Structure 1
Amino acid sequence: MIKKIIIGVFVLGTLPVFSQVDSLKIGLDFRTRAELDNGQKTLIAVGKSAENTVVSRARLNMDYFYQNLQLYFSIQDARTWGENASTASKNQNFVLNEAWAKYQFTPKAALKIGRQMLSYDDERLIGGLDWAMQGRSFDAAKGIFNFNKNSKLEVAITYNNDDNDANDSAENEIYDIVDGGEKAKSLQIFHYQFQNANKFQFSSIALNSVVQNTISGTHYDMITLGVNAKKYFENFGFFGSVYYQTGKNTNAQSKSAYQFSINADFIISKKFNAVLGTEWLSGRDYDTPNTENKSFSPFYGTNHKFNGYMDYFFVGNHFNSYGLNDYYLKTTTKFNPKSSFMVNLHAFTTNGKLANDQSSYLGTETDMVFAYKFSKMFVMNVGHSFMFASNSMEILKAVNTPKNLQTWSWIQLNFAPSFRLK
């Protein structure tokens, strides 16, 4: 069935190629990752065996251009090996990843509408989540305004609903999906970015998430305001971000939370650089009233990129908790144009105060990734991570007798051929 759909889509897309299409690009994305989980996301207890998992993605992208119109279509199958029987008659993993149309009204104004990826800045607040096989996309309308070659404004709006009216209250349409720790009925995003020839970049974002109470269906505004800046010199650069959240969250708690990061990039040579930095994400104290929420929510960010690759924080966990202070050193060594080796060191503490004078120190993590580019279309990545957790981490993760050392190993193969038809 999948084969027939793919062939059908390909034929429909290529039929007009010889008569009126300016260009048609085809992209394929095949990736497979094998993981050995001996303490990823949470502490593994003594006596529990490590778990082997293989996940994969097969994605077909079609990009069609005709005069001022661009149409993009992406379908994918993302799965864990073995979750479907070899005789399965239905495939729940096959989805429409993206399907949007973009029309360029003028050289400075365009509209993009449909299922699409929303990605801004370093993807701290909202991004494509490409590490996860399924990725992340939204049903959205977006206006794009290019003021000049250095500055641009994007305005995006999403609206979420389901097709089940039976669960609706008299006052509200209920939306059932909770993502990023919140139940968002709608998003409104304003994002401005500026960059010049002097290697200076600046951006600001305002995100209003209209969240919905899980019981009453009442709507609240939860607003996030933030700025990102980056400046590079010959052998040194710095970059960072600041965000503030206010309003109310899904649970009707008053929100007052912040994120702050500052980084220094030392370019020692063409083959070696080191980034020294810290990030603070606010969190609640042990005695914070239940009507208040001081925990910063990175919402739809690609959180795997930030606070350790073992995903102990903000990857399906740690929302509305004690927050996080992350102190890190990240190094990258480029052996040659085809291979590189990255080592990241993290020291974690809670941002909020724990009860009973408990230590805020949570643990230390080391991440290592070796990358080798066999060709333009084939890249291999091999990773290994260690977590040395403290007693406070044991309490936070509710694991009484964890192993002394938590580890996570993985290998990923990426195949990404692409070609143009005209």
Structure 2
Amino acid sequence: MGVVIIHTSSLAQVSLTGQIRTRTELRDGQGTLPAKDAKASFFTTQRTRLNLGYAAERFRFLTSVQEVRVWGSDQSTISNLEGSKFFLHQAWGELILSDSVTIKVDNLSVKAGRQEIIYDDSRLLGNLDWLQQARRHDAVVIRFSHKGWIADAGFAFNQNHGQDTPNKSGSLYNGIPTAPVVPGTNGIGMLYKSMQYGYFARTGKLGKASLLFFKDDFQKTTTVENTTTFVPGVNSRVTVGAAVFATPSEHIKLTSAAYYQGNQDKLGNPLEAYNVTAAAAFKVYKFTTNPGFDFLSGNNTARQGKVNRRFDPLYGTPHKFWGMMDYFYAADQFGVDGSLSRSPGLLDIYLKNTFAAKENLVFTLDLHEFYAGNKVAAATEGATAEKTAAGRLGTEIDFVVNYNILKNVNIEAGYATMLGTTTLDLLKAPAANKQNTGQWAYLMLNFAPDFLAKANPGK
């Protein structure tokens, strides 16, 4: 993060970097198919971020503050209903336990505080940097690495600030912010009460293989006469799996992964779900083509079952995998009439293409063909009906141009369209009177200065 200043007395390293990223968007069906009489929306969002880092011989430190806004949305005074705009994105300290005398490994450390948690390709755990707010966790992570072996363990425990605080009584956690902010992606609707994970990997000349064990616990609820209250105890969701990232040659990359999700969903229903994926990337001169598929299991929405088979991609980066228009596993719910319990899962067959015209100019063109992963109930037949709709959901085309104007200044423009079907209409609420085509365009300008760069001109 940024350029380093060396202090000869302590060999400390200081970094100070920033970011201003504006993104102007034209939305006419981003996230869900537009209604037939809907008009396109046009707006600009901005992220302003300042990062201060410090690294000494036995510890590291980072604090990152940011403000996110929609241009023109401010009132004379900021209402609590608008949520938090200026907040800490990261603030952590890392104690380094390894040394050259007693603990002779490449790294053994404990990292505590608000931090991004990123592993592998960000499929299940990532920082979701595309979203202006991004993603972070309040957690403790124990990190180990030595000669290509990696082993991390992470822990988190969330609590409300208010009546049931630790210095009073009770420990119920509703996991829902008081402001109208959607907690997390994937339509999960509530944050975890606690989480624990273990990540293990081995890197070598031909790539990397990894294992993940992740458990997140949600406060139990009870519903009486349509009123939901939180009660003692948690529902625990367990996700386990493995991934392989192989590079047999400089022109070929292979990726495969399989994950199982079980035990209970957030509401305590039995959970049995899985995700499998495979892809290959072939590079010829300046052109790279990347065919692959993703399958995420889902429920048979035409026949209600007792087991939830909807795979949830945890806290990853949906925007990176299932189309830039974020129809699936993002903030917009994906299920019959918008109900997650009636989500049929997803089969995504894709072909991603990249052309690096110059070192600072890159074009990408991604093609996605989407299918439901399970049966979809017809619109008027109800949750237990046998009649089903066709499984094909539509085709998405994403085109992006990325240009580095300067070392720390980048401009990116994109256009995407979804050519949807009536089945896709059923799965995006409200499921009625929609167009079959959605489109989205954006222009993003990113300034990422390194404020200490001149202090070390040799870098």
| Residue pair 1:227, 1:241 contacting (<8 A) in 2 also | yes
How large is the RMSD of aligned CA atoms in angstroms? 2.3
| Residue pair 1:45, 1:399 contacting (<8 A) in 2 also | no
| Residue pair 1:160, 1:175 contacting (<8 A) in 2 also | no
Instruction: Determine the C-alpha separation between the residues in 2 that align with 1:288 and 1:357.
Output: 10
Task: Report SS of the residue matched to 2:193.
Answer: strand
Residue ranges of structure 1 left out of the alignment (5+ in a row) = 1-13
| Residue pair 1:23, 1:64 contacting (<8 A) in 2 also | yes
Q: Residue 246 of structure 2 corresponds to which residue in structure 1?
A: 231
| Residue pair 2:207, 2:246 contacting (<8 A) in 1 also | yes
1:245-285 deviations in Å (ceiling 9; x for gaps): 01111111101000010001121x23001011000000000
Q: Pick from 88, 102, 105 the counterpart of residue 77 of structure 2.
A: 88
- Counterpart AA for 1:187: M
Task: Report SS of the residue matched to 2:272.
Answer: strand
Structure 2 residue 395 is the aligned partner of structure 1 residue 358: no
- Counterpart AA for 1:157: F
Shift of 1:216: 4.1
Alignment of 1:22-421 (within 5 A): 22-85=12-75, 87-88=76-77, 92-106=84-98, 107-146=106-145, 148-165=146-163, 173-177=172-176, 179-180=184-185, 181=188, 183-197=191-205, 199-214=206-221, 215-217=229-231, 218-234=233-249, 235-267=251-283, 269-289=284-304, 291-316=306-331, 317-318=333-334, 319-320=340-341, 321-355=343-377, 356-397=387-428, 398-418=430-450, 419=452
| Residue pair 2:26, 2:43 contacting (<8 A) in 1 also | yes
Instruction: Determine the C-alpha separation between the residues in 2 that align with 1:347 and 1:265.
Output: 18
Q: 1:288 to 1:208 in 2, by over 3 A?
A: farther
Deviates more, 1:29-38 or 1:104-113: 104-113
Deviates more, 1:395-404 or 1:350-359: 395-404
Instruction: Determine the C-alpha separation between the residues in 2 that align with 1:75 and 1:301.
Output: 21
Task: Report SS of the residue matched to 1:163.
Answer: coil
Shift of 1:21: 6.7
Q: 1:59 to 1:17 in 2, by over 3 A?
A: farther
- Counterpart AA for 1:105: L
Q: For this pair of structures, how many residues does the alignment match?
A: 404
| Residue pair 1:22, 1:66 contacting (<8 A) in 2 also | yes
| Residue pair 1:17, 1:24 contacting (<8 A) in 2 also | no
Instruction: Determine the C-alpha separation between the residues in 1 that align with 2:436 and 2:124.
Output: 33
Q: 1:377 to 1:261 in 2, by over 3 A?
A: same
1:340-390 deviations in Å (ceiling 9; x for gaps): 110000011111111213101111000000011111101111000011000
Q: Percent identity?
A: 29
Task: Report SS of the residue matched to 2:122.
Answer: coil
Task: Report SS of the residue matched to 1:413.
Answer: strand
- TM-score, scaled to structure 1: 0.90
1:303-349 deviations in Å (ceiling 9; x for gaps): 11011000000111224411111000000001011101100000111
- Counterpart AA for 1:161: Q
- Counterpart AA for 1:98: Q
Q: 1:89 to 1:385 in 2, by over 3 A?
A: closer
1:57-101 deviations in Å (ceiling 9; x for gaps): 01000011122111101000111112213x436794110111100
Shift of 1:17: 7.2
Instruction: Determine the C-alpha separation between the residues in 2 that align with 1:287 and 1:275.
Output: 34
Instruction: Determine the C-alpha separation between the residues in 1 that align with 2:74 and 2:11.
Output: 39
Q: 1:309 to 1:405 in 2, by over 3 A?
A: same
1:24-70 deviations in Å (ceiling 9; x for gaps): 10011110000000100011111211000211101000011122111
Task: Report SS of the residue matched to 1:79.
Answer: strand
Shift of 1:20: 5.3
| Residue pair 2:172, 2:219 contacting (<8 A) in 1 also | no
Task: Report SS of the residue matched to 1:292.
Answer: coil
Instruction: Determine the C-alpha separation between the residues in 2 that align with 1:190 and 1:270.
Output: 39
